[in-house]
Chain A
Amino acid sequence: MNNHIITLPWAKLSRRTAIANTIGLAFALCAMPLHAQSAAAEHVPSDPATAAPSPLPNPQQPGVLPAPATATTGPSAGALGSTAATGELSTAQVPLVAAPNSATTPPAVPDTSASGAGTSADATANAQAEQEASEIAASADTGGPKLNFYGFADFTFAKRLSSHSTDILMPNKPTFYVGNFNLYMAAELGRWRSLSEVRFTYLPDGAQTLDSSTGTSNRISTAYGDYSDWGRSKKVGGVIIERVTLDYSAHSLLTIRAGQFLTPYGIWNVDHGSPTFIGVTRPFIVGNEWFPSHQTGLELFGSFAIDATQLGYHLTLSNGRGPIDTYQDLDSNKALGWRFWAKHDASIGTFTLGTSGYKGRYTDSKMVYGMTNGRLSIQYPDTERYDELSLATDLKWTWGSYLLQGEAILRDVRYDDRLRPAAQFATPGTQWSPDQRVWGYYALTGYRLKWWGIMPFVMNQYQSWGKGAALTCWEFAGGLNIRPNEMVVFKIAALGLWRPDPGFFSKTESQFAAQVAWSF
């Protein structure tokens, strides 16, 4: 009989509907954040007269429900339900109570210094407060800083989907790799703050250098015999210093930073870490370093607020760009940089608009020893020089879980004719690197769902290296950025790029990438 029933069309439909509803309910329940579930469990009606007791058992009296808090209860230890073990206020058992009606008398203000005196909770609170105060004072004054270690890492699987022999940007075989393993060391010293970040890398092992005369590449090997293991081969990696800075915060309008810092332009370069940015790889305009990603020198920054609008600035003075700019400037021309930004909180979200600039000179030189009149002479003739000006603008709009961000950069490079280098990609009639104007943009949008912190996103970007240039291309990318908790981010993305004038290269390339990035 039952078999007959479930074979009827409407019976099938009902069963399917029931299954579908069950799936929907399961989604809904899974998607409810834990805090919401727990808060819902702890919720007590605001009216103390109708308030139900908390379902949580009183640890002092197993099996006995604690008395509900009342609207007029002050923070005396007993009334707020301190635990016998710690004396700590059990806020989970004391839900917020209704606000007093504005028309009525303000709430009673109990004097805890009197009512709580002598209780163990009060004594514990005092002791904790003393300890917290001394810890904060110690880090802020002369007691010595606490050094904080933290960092992030990422692990990626990438597979090229296109199969042209002239695809150049992506690895040609499916590949796993650890991309970033960055360690931060930070110390707060009151108005002073020290921050260092290093990236551990397998490079330079495996890095390839192209021999244009033979069309072949040579791979660098860093394998060396390990003296502690009978000389067996071990590969050594490297350390990249991402930043080393010391800040002095004189005022909210002025912080002075010295050292090697991330260039404060746009959004992506400051977001910096793989757990923080949405996609798997940096946009062209950021990855191309049309602004230097790092500089060594001084940075001044600050901000002030007018109602819901905040205005801020960054000014930089640095060695600029050069072959060894992290520790030596090969010309006396210091680079200048700036960023001005405005952030406004509105009913439809928060808008941040910024504009940045960088003006500097790149110089390379060599050292030449010689003898002049029987004395050693050293000269430093320049071998390459160009002036550059980069301008950028950026916009970020967040509205609840919605995100829209974009950046655009324009860069002009003008060589000194006496010191113009050979062209990297020789084309007929051109043997020397030309002056150039390049520009590009990216735009990214996404919406983070409450369910597992999933953010579907799409990104479009474009880079122009001039009309007819092979590197000019469009890219479209889309994927998921999944952040189940604050520490771990999973990313799945597919991208395709298209070159209007491919030159040597393929007209299209495409790639799939999956990444997990985490902070620790």
Chain B
Amino acid sequence: MITKKLAYVALIFGLTVANVPRVAADTGSTARLAVVVAKNFPVDNLSFADLKRLYMGDTIEASGKRVIPLALRMRSPERTTFDESVIGLAPDDVARYWVDRKIRGQSGPPKAIDSPLTLLRLVDKLDGSLGYVRADAVPSDVKVLRIDGKRPSDPGYRLSI
């Protein structure tokens, strides 16, 4: 009888521990990402809500130009940080989200780019594209968008964990 009770306690304990959020372990310490576009991108600011919708499959236009979202590859630290802080989903949930969308007949995920450096080059070359990289890794030949009017260095900037 005691063994059964202890087994139940262990089961509950195990499931509880398993479901404690481990955000810090997933993504490292507090980090900020910058949303980057080409220098000639028609706007300087994007709302957080629009950014979220863009990366969840909705069409967003900036001054009549369709925005092409670019992502980094799954489970890269930047991707995990971005997905958790913007979309609000952990990597496993993100993967399920896109599979479910495709089965519903909706559009697929943003193009995943292998490296931040390639993404920076692509943002510069592909008209209307938008991506994200570490805030401290932005070169001078791309533009950093303000999100809800805030730059990455501003207090209250939301692309961080």
Which of A100, A148, A275 has a CB less than 8 Å from the CB of B99?
A: A275
A100-B153, A133-B125, A272-B103 known; A305+B32 contact, CB < 8 A: no
Q: Are B115 and A107 in contact (CB under 8 A)?
A: no
Q: Are A23 and B11 in contact (CB under 8 A)?
A: yes
Asked if A482 is at the interface of the complex by the 8 Å CB criterion, the answer is no
In the assembled complex, which residues on chain B have CB atoms less than 8 Å from the CB atom of A186? 102, 108
Q: Which of A116, A125, A243 has the most CB of B within 10 A?
A: A125
Asked if A466 is at the interface of the complex by the 8 Å CB criterion, the answer is no
Asked if A326 is at the interface of the complex by the 8 Å CB criterion, the answer is no
Which of B29, B61, B81, B115 has a CB less than 8 Å from the CB of A125?
A: B115
Taken together as a complex, chains A and B put the C-alpha atoms of A86 and B10 apart, in Å, by 47
Binary per-residue interface labels of chain A (188-205) against chain B in the complex, 1 for a CB within 8 Å, 0 otherwise: 100101010100000000
In the assembled complex, which residues on chain B have CB atoms less than 8 Å from the CB atom of A28? 13-14, 17-18
Q: Are B134 and A125 in contact (CB under 8 A)?
A: no
Asked if A5 is at the interface of the complex by the 8 Å CB criterion, the answer is no
A36-B22, A74-B137, A89-B116 known; A132+B103 contact, CB < 8 A: no
In the assembled complex, which residues on chain A have CB atoms less than 8 Å from the CB atom of B95? 485-486
Q: Are A519 and B135 in contact (CB under 8 A)?
A: no
In the assembled complex, which residues on chain B have CB atoms less than 8 Å from the CB atom of A21? 10
Asked if B42 is at the interface of the complex by the 8 Å CB criterion, the answer is no
Interface residues of A in 81-126 (CB under 8 A from B): 88-89, 91-92, 94-100, 102, 106-113, 116, 121-122, 125-126
A32-B22, A33-B90 known; A137+B15 contact, CB < 8 A: no
How extensive is the interface on chain A, given as a class?
35 or more
Which of B6, B18, B28 has a CB less than 8 Å from the CB of A96?
A: B28
A35-B75, A35-B80, A252-B61 known; A20+B6 contact, CB < 8 A: yes
Q: Are B133 and A75 in contact (CB under 8 A)?
A: yes
Q: Which label, helix, strand, loop or mixed, suits the secondary structure of the A interface?
A: mixed
Binary per-residue interface labels of chain B (117-129) against chain A in the complex, 1 for a CB within 8 Å, 0 otherwise: 1111110111001
Interface residues of B in 53-74 (CB under 8 A from A): 53, 58-61, 66, 68, 72-73
Which of B25, B53, B117 has a CB less than 8 Å from the CB of A305?
A: B53
Q: Are B28 and A184 in contact (CB under 8 A)?
A: no
Taken together as a complex, chains A and B put the C-alpha atoms of A73 and B133 apart, in Å, by 13
Q: Are B121 and A129 in contact (CB under 8 A)?
A: yes
Q: Are B117 and A450 in contact (CB under 8 A)?
A: no
In the assembled complex, which residues on chain A have CB atoms less than 8 Å from the CB atom of B136? 71-74, 97, 100, 107-108
Taken together as a complex, chains A and B put the C-alpha atoms of A77 and B96 apart, in Å, by 33
Which of A45, A193, A276 has a CB less than 8 Å from the CB of B107?
A: A193
In the assembled complex, which residues on chain A have CB atoms less than 8 Å from the CB atom of B103? 152, 184, 271-273, 275-276, 519
Which of B6, B104, B111, B154 has a CB less than 8 Å from the CB of A16?
A: B6
Which of B14, B31, B92, B100 has a CB less than 8 Å from the CB of A26?
A: B14
Q: Are A38 and B77 in contact (CB under 8 A)?
A: no
Asked if A465 is at the interface of the complex by the 8 Å CB criterion, the answer is no
Which of A92, A112, A136 has a CB less than 8 Å from the CB of B76?
A: A92
Interface residues of A in 168-226 (CB under 8 A from B): 184, 186, 188, 191, 193, 195, 197
Interface residues of A in 19-72 (CB under 8 A from B): 19-21, 23-28, 30-33, 35-36, 38-40, 42-46, 71-72
In the assembled complex, which residues on chain B have CB atoms less than 8 Å from the CB atom of A97? 31, 134, 136
Interface residues of A in 113-169 (CB under 8 A from B): 113, 116, 121-122, 125-126, 128-130, 132-133, 136-137, 140, 148, 150, 152
A125-B121, A345-B52 known; A113+B10 contact, CB < 8 A: no
Interface residues of B in 25-42 (CB under 8 A from A): 25-32
CB distance from A293 to the nearest CB of B (A): 13
In the assembled complex, which residues on chain B have CB atoms less than 8 Å from the CB atom of A150? 102
Q: Are A136 and B18 in contact (CB under 8 A)?
A: no
CB distance from A297 to the nearest CB of B (A): 16
Q: Are A88 and B2 in contact (CB under 8 A)?
A: no
In the assembled complex, which residues on chain A have CB atoms less than 8 Å from the CB atom of B22? 32, 36, 40
Asked if A451 is at the interface of the complex by the 8 Å CB criterion, the answer is yes
Taken together as a complex, chains A and B put the C-alpha atoms of A493 and B28 apart, in Å, by 39
Q: Are A96 and B29 in contact (CB under 8 A)?
A: yes
How extensive is the interface on chain B, given as a class?
35 or more
Q: Are A128 and B118 in contact (CB under 8 A)?
A: yes
Asked if A240 is at the interface of the complex by the 8 Å CB criterion, the answer is no
Closest to B148 in A: A307
A31-B18, A486-B95 known; A91+B72 contact, CB < 8 A: yes
Asked if A464 is at the interface of the complex by the 8 Å CB criterion, the answer is no
Which of B15, B30, B76, B119 has a CB less than 8 Å from the CB of A449?
A: B15
Q: Are B18 and A27 in contact (CB under 8 A)?
A: yes
Asked if B49 is at the interface of the complex by the 8 Å CB criterion, the answer is yes
In the assembled complex, which residues on chain B have CB atoms less than 8 Å from the CB atom of A419? none
In the assembled complex, which residues on chain A have CB atoms less than 8 Å from the CB atom of B119? 129
Q: Which of A19, A25, A73, A133 has the most CB of B within 10 A?
A: A133
Taken together as a complex, chains A and B put the C-alpha atoms of A191 and B64 apart, in Å, by 13
Taken together as a complex, chains A and B put the C-alpha atoms of A411 and B100 apart, in Å, by 29
Q: Are B77 and A27 in contact (CB under 8 A)?
A: no
Q: Are B139 and A111 in contact (CB under 8 A)?
A: yes
In the assembled complex, which residues on chain A have CB atoms less than 8 Å from the CB atom of B137? 73-75, 80, 110
Closest to A38 in B: B75
Closest to A111 in B: B140
Taken together as a complex, chains A and B put the C-alpha atoms of A102 and B108 apart, in Å, by 36
12 contacts between A and B (CB under 8 A): A31-B17, A32-B22, A43-B25, A45-B29, A99-B152, A129-B122, A133-B125, A136-B68, A262-B105, A270-B104, A305-B47, A453-B96
Q: Which 3 A-B pairs have the closest CB atoms?
A: A27-B14, A31-B18, A129-B121
- Which residues in A have some Cβ–Cβ distance to B below 8 Å? 13, 16-17, 19-21, 23-28, 30-33, 35-36, 38-40, 42-46, 71-75, 77, 80, 88-89, 91-92, 94-100, 102, 106-113, 116, 121-122, 125-126, 128-130, 132-133, 136-137, 140, 148, 150, 152, 184, 186, 188, 191, 193, 195, 197, 243, 245, 249, 251-252, 262, 270-273, 275-276, 303, 305, 307-308, 310, 345, 401, 449-451, 453, 483, 485-487, 519
